[in-house]
Amino acid sequence: MVRTRIATIVTVLTAAALAWTSAPALASNDPAMDRAVQQVNDQWAHIRYQVADRGEQYRELDALAARAAQVSARYPNRAEPLLWQGIVVSEEAARASVLRQLGLAKQARTILERAQAIDPNVADGGVKMSLGVLYYRVPGFPIGFGNTAKARGLLEAALKQDPRGLDNNFFYADFLKDEGHPAEARTYVLRGLAAPVNGARPVWDAGRRAEMRTLLAKINTKLKA
């Protein structure tokens, strides 16, 4: 059960999605930082959606997590690099061995909380969404730190900040489906799929929409049961 629940962690949103995150938009007053973060973002999307082998995904995510940490160190007191570092570590947790999964999930939570403390509104609610995903995908006490009430609050706050966002709608719909509310979940999946295509991030956009269509099929099956 532990492996099943933790292995489904996604940054970010995610980042990540969560992050999703795990996948927040990038825009700040520092073009050099934006480029560095965008490179992490693009590599995350490549690994998430274009690398098929799980073991290779883990190895590449581990290397990317180190790169993301370097970017965060280069830009202290900035939320954007920390957000993407947290998304990458969350994704790494999903690909890790059972013994490492929960430790990496806790590490991702700490990183994302640091980003939230700096700027809780960063990336159109991306940090709230990424933390919310961790809180509903990780098992609760006594195994892990999962918390349904915290997850709902964070995901709803992210959705309020960016009600048309692809990731915000996807993860809230997934949460509602898991909580036994498929009809409500379907509303958010359809809203997310109606979002404009993001031509600047084609790998993430296509990959997330494919996941949303899969989620929609599962929800429709539940509604017909």
| Rounded Cα distance, 10 and 18, in Å | 6
**pTM for the model:** 0.88
Q: Which two tokens stand for residue 98?
A: 């059972």
Which phi and psi angles does 140 have, rounded to 5°? -85, -175
**Phi (first) and psi of residue 162, to 5 degrees:** -140, 80
Average pLDDT over residues 55-59: 97
3-state secondary structure of 177: helix
> What distance lies between CA 55 and its chain's CA centroid?
20
DSSP, collapsed to helix, strand or coil, labels residue 6 as helix
What's the average model confidence in pLDDT over 52-80? 97
Q: Residue 225's CB: how many other CB atoms inside 10 A?
A: 6
**Facing residues of 140 across strands?**
146
> What mean pLDDT is reported for the chain?
89
Token pair belonging to 201 = 């991030």
Count of C-beta atoms within a 10 Å radius of residue 217: 11
In this prediction, residue 28 carries a pLDDT of 67
31 phi and psi, to 5 degrees? -60, -35
Site of tokens 């600047």: 200
pLDDT band per the 50, 70, 90 thresholds, residue 9:
very low
The tens digit of pLDDT for each residue in 107-130 reads 999 999 999 999 999 999 999 999
The secondary structure element, H or E, covering residue 151 is helix 148-161
What mean pLDDT comes out for the span 186-193? 98
Domains of the chain (ranges plus CATH)? Answer: 2-224 (1.25.40.10)
* 107: helix, strand or coil: helix
Over range 191-214, report the average pLDDT. 94
Confidence of residue 23 (pLDDT cuts 50, 70, 90): very low
Q: Are 91 and 16 in contact (CB under 8 A)?
A: yes
